[in-house]
Amino acid sequence: MALKTRITQLLGIEHPIVQGGMMWVGRAELASAVSNAGGLGILTALTQPTPDDLRREIDRCRSMTDKPFGVNLTILPSVNPPPYAEYRKAIIESGVRIVETAGSGPREHVEDFKSHGITVLHKCTAVRHALSAERMGVDVISIDGFECAGHPGEDDIPGLVLIPAAADQVKIPMLASGGIGDGRGLAAALALGAEGVNMGTRFCATKEAPIHDNIKRFLVENDERATNLIFRQFRNTGRVAKNSISDEVVTIAQVPGAQFQDVQPLVSGARGRTALETGDTEAGLVWAGQVQGLIRDVPSCAQLLARMVSEAESIIASRLGAMLAEPVA
């Protein structure tokens, strides 16, 4: 048996499993490994310091896999925004066929990608946003439940409700994201109306993830309670792993009249990168979701995907099927 959905057909992949874009993590090593394992690997555009560096990273990924892969372009509010249009141009000119977009105000980028025949996946945290993106012309919605790492939005709707709520209204294929790390989550996502899953934190704890082994062990040792919600007061909620830095950010932000500038030195991307690359779990923010409670090991991407699909198939064919007992006469 194989799990074939509109997602596998549209993206040209074997398994309905997508690796989401992650800052400092979505590099060629991980993206190519996920794609070679039958899923869809994603490079993170803004991890590369310049658009030309992104072009080189796309070429490097192509040298490591002949399977489909995509590029993530996340548009976030910033005092000094990166040159999004130049990154978009690099993606298009490099011949990338699949793009994951996220963040606010994506219309300009979506329309340009679509005009070049690129398949666009857009990440959303609310049904209303998913419907807006669908009207905009994206091809796939990745619906992010409150459990997710990164920015879960301000509605606080977990996947068990958000996924079927979106599936009731969204007509294009949908990926479930947030809190998924094994075959049980994959089977559940399909049952709830999604046609595949998008995972971030789980892929950080794989052999090919280009981050320090101490961080991978940190994720394995943490449980589902080991996250903090930060930036709540600033209406830009983020979910990160619990450590001394995120604890301090929460404490500072609770002071009446606190401003983002009060926590800005603690939450810089440079500090987060240092944590990931040196293995110092207290050096900066480590973005991670509640799925930490389901991470027990650090497999290769091939092992992870094979295990997930096998487990999901077994649940669908055997465990659930066995519950359909013949009625008593």
Q: Which segment of 33-37, 47-51, 154-158, 234-238 scores lowest on mean pLDDT?
A: 234-238
Proportion of the chain in helix, strand, coil states, percent, rounded to 5: 45, 15, 40
Task: Report how many domains make up the chain.
Answer: 2
Tell me the per-residue pLDDT of 64-113, one tens digit each, with 9 for 90 and over: 999 999 999 999 877 789 999 999 999 999 999 999 999 988 999 999 99
**Do 107 and 24 fall within a single domain?**
yes
**CATH for 131:** 3.20.20.70
Does the pLDDT value for residue 329 go beyond 80? no
Residues 121 and 22 reside in one and the same domain: yes
Range of the domain at 235: 227-287
**Residue 212 resides in a domain:** no
The four Cα atoms 134, 137, 139, 141 give a dihedral, to 10 degrees, of -30
Are residue 200 and residue 232 in the same domain, yes or no? no
215 part of a folded domain = no
On whether residue 170 sits in a domain, the answer given is yes
**Average of pLDDT values for 191-207?**
98
Q: Are residues 122 and 250 in the same domain?
A: no
* Shared domain check, 99 and 69: yes
Let me know whether 240 and 188 are in one domain: no
236 and 314 share a domain? no
Q: How far apart are CA 113 and CA 116, in angstroms?
A: 5
**Are 123 and 190 part of one and the same domain?**
yes
DSSP 270-327: HHHHHHHHH--TTSS-----GGGGG------HHHHHHHHHHHHHHIIIIIHHHTSPPP
Residue 81 and residue 152 share a domain: yes
Q: Tell me the C-alpha distance between 320 and 324, whole Å.
A: 7
Same domain, 163 and 256: no
Q: Does residue 129 sit in helix, strand or coil?
A: helix
Residue 142 has pLDDT above 70, yes or no: yes
pLDDT of 1 > 70? The answer is no
